[in-house]
Structure 1
Amino acid sequence: MHLKRTAILCLLFLVKKNFVLAQEMTYTVSPVLSDTSYFHVELTCKGFSADSLQFSMPEWTPGYYQLMYYASSVCNIRATDAKGNTLSWKKADKNSWWIYNKSADIFHLQYDVLSTKSFVASNYLEADKGYISPAGMFMHLKAHIEQPVTLVVKPINGWNVATGLKQLPDQQYTYIASDFDVLYDSPILMGKLETFPSFDVQGKPHYFIAYRPREFDRAAFMKDLQKIVSTAADIIGDIPYDNYTFLGIGPGMGGIEHLNSTTVSFTGSNLNNREGKIGIYNFLAHEYFHHYNVKRIRPIELGPFDYDHGSKTRLLWVSEGFTVYYEYIILRRAGLTTPDDVLKELQDNIRSYESKPGRLIQSLADASYNTWSDGPFGAGDSSISYYEKGPVLGALLDLKIRHETRNKHSLDDVMRALYREYYQDKKRGFTEAEFRSVAERVAGVSLAECFDYANTVKMPDYKKYFGYAGLDIAVKDGSFAITRRKSMNALQQSILRDWLR
């Protein structure tokens, strides 16, 4: 009886101890319009009882492989305990701060983030719009990146809020993230926004919420976007999220992919002409397909992330380059473009790549690894862009697989295998060797020449690879023209038909 009572008391002590030590982090963020606009951030921490705690602001955001130096926009830091007493703090290094909390179980941290650059990887605030790139807004506690987070957004009156974050039921503008990786991967758009008609694909709702879109046919646009999403999902055969949100931030630069959302510069101004429409649809297909290819089908270096220094990989030619290739393929299979449109896009990629002196100096793999210094589009005459050569290599690899398997398999099978084996089963990214192994297993032959095109400056044999689909390629005055041969064998006809179906 005595032993039983002791055991119960021990259990109660452990329960009480765990309850007391339960760790919580709740952020509240508010836009403040002034001569220099900023967001005010308040953080309440519970259960982190230590003499000192180190908080860090990431130096970059996944999806944009450049250092952003977000900490330079942080100012007016103030820390207090639960009673309002001031706690001391000091700068630890360029992007982190020590907070001395004297073992207080509850304390508050406040700071402001200057938000003046309109860009998908930056924080921005103006009279009727606010945009938050979370990696540049919310500090994380060192060694606690896995900590669940609650976020409360307090928009200006008359504004609404859009994000891929999960909202708490019956609590307006209150969201939760299972960890900081999810928080940093969930941008927030607020302001006077318009929500387009939603659609479902495989039972999952998809939304498009935009800031000041121009005049165009919303219903027709969303019908086409549904085709894009459905076609992309059919390639992989699975939709891994509960819902998806396109965030159109208005005029600006670029787009960035996320697990269940994407931020895109969007006004809809070119949707009323065919060329402009194809450009916008390519852009949206690209960012959407990224939720597979890079967020889930990813090089092993891209997770867990090194938020302080960046995560370098030699495989952005797969993550970015192949995604460019698939934007062409998705639009074609969705019935939104023609086979000639796809060939023209590839011609343009070849011309752009082959016109750069850097093609004789830098390999695709090196361009991927050096993007942190060279930028994604190269720097001067000594580098290249994986956005230009990458999609071409994707096409060549696709045609090679189709040829070697007599059109029974394609690059789609490689992407599906990577998704299944590494994302779903192993729950991690793949190495360079593993990517090549999967590709060669699907092809049933060595793909050494294709991988030489990625890892060296060897010129691709365009004529041979496009010939697998009964195509010729001619060079004249710096232009590359891909044309159909007058005579094709049965395999070539089959490959061309299925490749550009």
Structure 2
Amino acid sequence: MKRNFHFHWIIVTVLLLKSVTIFAQTQDPVQFTITMANPANHTFHVVMDCKVGAHETSRLKMPAWSPGYYQIMDFESFVSNFQVTDQAGTKLFFDKKGKNEWHVEKAKATSLHVEYDVLTMREFVGTSFLDEEHGYIIPAGLCMYLENEIKRPAEITIKPFDKWKDVATGLDLIPGKDFTYSAPDFDILYDSPILIGNLEELPAFEVKGIPHRFIGYKMGDFDKVKFMQDIKKMVEAASAIIGDMPYKHYTFLAIGPGGGGIEHLNSTAVSFDGKLLNDPGKRLRILSFLTHEYFHHYNVKRIRPVELGPFNYDKGSKTNMLWVSEGLTVYYEYPVLNRAGLMTQTQVLDAYKALILALETQPGRLYQSLAQASAETWSEGPSGRVSDEFNKTISYYIKGPIVGLMLDLKIRHETNNKKSLDDVMRTLYQDFYQKQNRGFTETEFRKVCEKVAGASLDEIFHYVYTTKELDYVKYFNYAGLNIDVTPKQLPGAYLGIKAKFQNDSLKVSSVDWDSPAWKAGVRRGNVIVEVDDKPATEASIAYIFEDKKAGEKMTLNLIKNDTKIAYPIVLGTKSERSFAITPVPNPDKLQTAILKDWLK
């Protein structure tokens, strides 16, 4: 039996009501038909039918990116076999302009019939994909739009491969039409991924009468009832922060094993392998991941920087505030799960400790601010320039939640535990999304934070816009917690190299920045042939030599450009900070109250 997994968008939110403009109501929808006759070729065939006005040239454009994944994806590069005819079937001349535009000379045509193929070779949550077992559609990567007509309504018909019976999407099903869905505009169309195949649905649940569903491909073997019970607890805890559920239903689309997730207004698409849930540690990571994607329907889809909508589908939408949209969402993963009874206080503190260790062991924190990392993600990637030998960048996914933690504890301290970051998020949601239907500026965000705190937050925002070192001790102390930031010297002599044998060669896999090996000029990828004139082994270039002392000398013979070169190195010492978080011995009344309200 054919099944439509669909979710009604009608009257979902004030945002959607306002997006159905008079223009959209009076314009005929652009109609798409997506077929996949031979999935083994990884190619979707797209048919686009639309009425056009009296202008002589129609400009068709393919988005260069899809909101939620802040990278230029060059979707147009996968388009082939483009052709266009008028209402009589007469071929029309077109010219490819720039990277993502097709200019159609339409003469007296009143409608366009466009056909093209889209090759999908990368199995990733941010790209469309098709193989013999399933299909996944990112509409921004398949559906073109008419220039200046983003607010025009659209209809999309999916014709699954004949061995498949299911389609899952957040779009509204048109009654009486199999697998045909409507979108009030292209922003909504592009915000609605589509999963196709022989899919499985887990036991649904309701929160405040609103259905929540989990539908996916190749989900694996696990306790599905227990898993959905945990997801329900998470949704209840997350939605309680804002106090409003701005959708009529919500779905998790599990697109198969892999990595990554992208949030949407009433759904999220996530890579998912259910068998990992049988391992307690991996289960907690999966629940954190799903919490992150779910909380995004508030923070970024509705609580958003002003730059993130309306979108620039050609160049991307650059903002200094992804540390808010992404970083604060990471921050909330752990308190949400804690409030849901799915994560202990110790586990939450361990998660924050891991983030601090990740930040403090990277030199990028000394060179790039949070605001810069947010703005430059389009060129550097969400984790910074990780391939650089000396990485002068940071990830807003790491420093963002740490600053979010400090902001939360600062507000609690300044208000005698009467207010928190929750109040900031609710205020942003109510004042900008609900009342004004827009995003907030950087200045407005800071004003809301300081109004809630009733105090200046200069230091917090210095942490955002500068590379000022973070005062962990001060902020954790607000919650009656100590954090060990004292450097401790490790025994033995420090070299700072890790190496592995590859094809009978001992290659350097990493070199600590500013280590003795780094200072001597050793770099990742170098081949080590000898250590002190003896054949090199992994043991002979230990990261730390327990039997040597700082100040001792050694020589590494490396091969560079087919030449053996000697690198004399003076061994040093290695110091580390544990950042262990423990309760203070005698917390005062305010510290006790903050910790109790912050983490259960």
* Shorter-chain TM-score above 0.5: yes
Residues 1:274 and 1:114: Cα distance change in structure 2 (over 3 Å): same
Q: Could you tell me which residue of structure 2 aligns to residue 53 of structure 1?
A: 58
Q: Structure 1, unaligned stretches of length 5 or more? A: 1-17
The reply on whether 1:480 has 2:485 as its aligned counterpart is: no
SS in 1 for 2:484: strand
The reply on whether 1:347 has 2:353 as its aligned counterpart is: yes
Pick the aligned partner of 1:226 from 232, 240, 247. Answer: 232
Q: Distance in 2 between matches of 1:433 and 1:262?
A: 30
Paired residues of 2:484 and 2:577 also in contact (CA < 8 A): no
The reply on whether 1:266 has 2:272 as its aligned counterpart is: yes
TM-score by length of 1: 0.95
Note the C-alpha offset of 1:83.
1.8
Q: Could you tell me which residue of structure 1 aligns to residue 203 of structure 2?
A: 197
1:66-85 aligned at under 5 Å gives the runs: 66-85=71-90
Identity %, equivalent residues: 53
Pick the aligned partner of 1:301 from 300, 307, 316. Answer: 307
SS in 2 for 1:269: helix
Note the C-alpha offset of 1:486.
1.4
- The one-character-per-residue Cα deviations of 1:24-50 (angstroms, maximum 9, x if unpaired) are 311101124265321000011124343
1:20-419 aligned at under 5 Å gives the runs: 22-33=27-38, 36-159=41-164, 160-379=166-385, 380=388, 381-419=391-429
- The one-character-per-residue Cα deviations of 1:183-242 (angstroms, maximum 9, x if unpaired) are 000000101210111111122111100101111011111111011111111100111111
SS in 1 for 2:342: coil
Q: Could you tell me which residue of structure 2 aligns to residue 438 of structure 1?
A: 448
Paired residues of 2:327 and 2:396 also in contact (CA < 8 A): yes
Q: Distance in 2 between matches of 1:170 and 1:499?
A: 50
Pick the aligned partner of 2:474 from 464, 468, 474. Answer: 464
- The one-character-per-residue Cα deviations of 1:441-481 (angstroms, maximum 9, x if unpaired) are 00000001000001100011110100000000003524311
Q: Distance in 1 between matches of 2:349 and 2:108?
A: 65
SS in 1 for 2:80: strand
Note the C-alpha offset of 1:22.
4.3
- The one-character-per-residue Cα deviations of 1:359-379 (angstroms, maximum 9, x if unpaired) are 100000000001111111111
Note the C-alpha offset of 1:265.
0.3
Q: Distance in 2 between matches of 1:280 and 1:49?
A: 53
Q: Could you tell me which residue of structure 2 aligns to residue 14 of structure 1?
A: none
Letter matched to residue 210 of structure 2:
K
Paired residues of 1:23 and 1:47 also in contact (CA < 8 A): no
Q: Could you tell me which residue of structure 1 aligns to residue 530 of structure 2?
A: none
Residues 1:195 and 1:463: Cα distance change in structure 2 (over 3 Å): same
Paired residues of 2:76 and 2:100 also in contact (CA < 8 A): yes
Q: Distance in 2 between matches of 1:221 and 1:200?
A: 14
Note the C-alpha offset of 1:426.
1.0
RMSD of aligned Cα (Å): 1.2
Letter matched to residue 78 of structure 1:
Q
Q: Distance in 2 between matches of 1:92 and 1:457?
A: 42
Q: Structure 2, unaligned stretches of length 5 or more? A: 1-22, 489-575
Q: Distance in 1 between matches of 2:177 and 2:378?
A: 40
Q: Could you tell me which residue of structure 2 aligns to residue 453 of structure 1?
A: 463
Q: Could you tell me which residue of structure 1 aligns to residue 501 of structure 2?
A: none
Residues 1:365 and 1:371: Cα distance change in structure 2 (over 3 Å): same
Q: Distance in 2 between matches of 1:59 and 1:336?
A: 39
Count how many residue pairs are aligned between Structure 1 and Structure 2.
Answer: 482
Letter matched to residue 487 of structure 1:
N
Q: Distance in 2 between matches of 1:22 and 1:384?
A: 46
- The one-character-per-residue Cα deviations of 1:415-439 (angstroms, maximum 9, x if unpaired) are 0000000001111000000000000
Paired residues of 2:39 and 2:131 also in contact (CA < 8 A): no
Paired residues of 1:33 and 1:125 also in contact (CA < 8 A): no
Q: Distance in 2 between matches of 1:192 and 1:49?
A: 44
Tell me which protein shows more helix as a share of its residues.
Answer: 1
Paired residues of 2:94 and 2:105 also in contact (CA < 8 A): yes
Q: Distance in 2 between matches of 1:85 and 1:331?
A: 59
Paired residues of 2:169 and 2:195 also in contact (CA < 8 A): yes
Q: Could you tell me which residue of structure 1 aligns to residue 507 of structure 2?
A: none
TM-score by length of 2: 0.79
Letter matched to residue 438 of structure 2:
R
Q: Distance in 1 between matches of 2:384 and 2:155?
A: 39
Q: Distance in 2 between matches of 1:54 and 1:252?
A: 36
Q: Distance in 1 between matches of 2:320 and 2:39?
A: 43
Note the C-alpha offset of 1:106.
2.2
